[in-house]
Amino acid sequence: MILKAVFVGSPLDLIQGIDHRANPELARMLTAYAHERWAAKRPVIPELWRPVGRFADAEILADLEKC
């Protein structure tokens, strides 16, 4: 649901319990989506990183520096 909301441009702060829904698999999917957006020369909304933060490893931290 979170990835779909990002995809269609819905604000993530409206998703109830978003911080409790975050998990390593979602973080991986959102990071992959960011890479697709960057490859297409499209922006990545800052909200995308909210559910990713707790699961950030060195690779994800490097992605965050791109923002």
Q: Is the pLDDT of residue 67 over 80?
A: no
Q: What is the pLDDT of residues 22-43, one digit of tens each?
A: 999 999 999 999 999 999 999 9
CA gap 3, 12 in Å, rounded: 10
Q: Following DSSP, what letter does each residue of 9-45 receive, concatenated?
A: T--GGGSTTHHHH--HHHHHHHHHHHHHHHHTT----
CA gap 66, 13 in Å, rounded: 23
Q: With bands split at pLDDT 50, 70 and 90, how would you rate the model's confidence at 8?
A: very high
Please answer whether residues 52 and 33 qualify as being in contact, where contact means their C-beta atoms are separated by less than 8 angstroms.
Answer: no
Domains: count for the chain = 1
pTM over 0.75? The answer is: yes
> Which range marks the domain in which residue 58 is found?
2-8+17-65
Give me the phi and psi of 9, to 5 degrees please: 85, 20
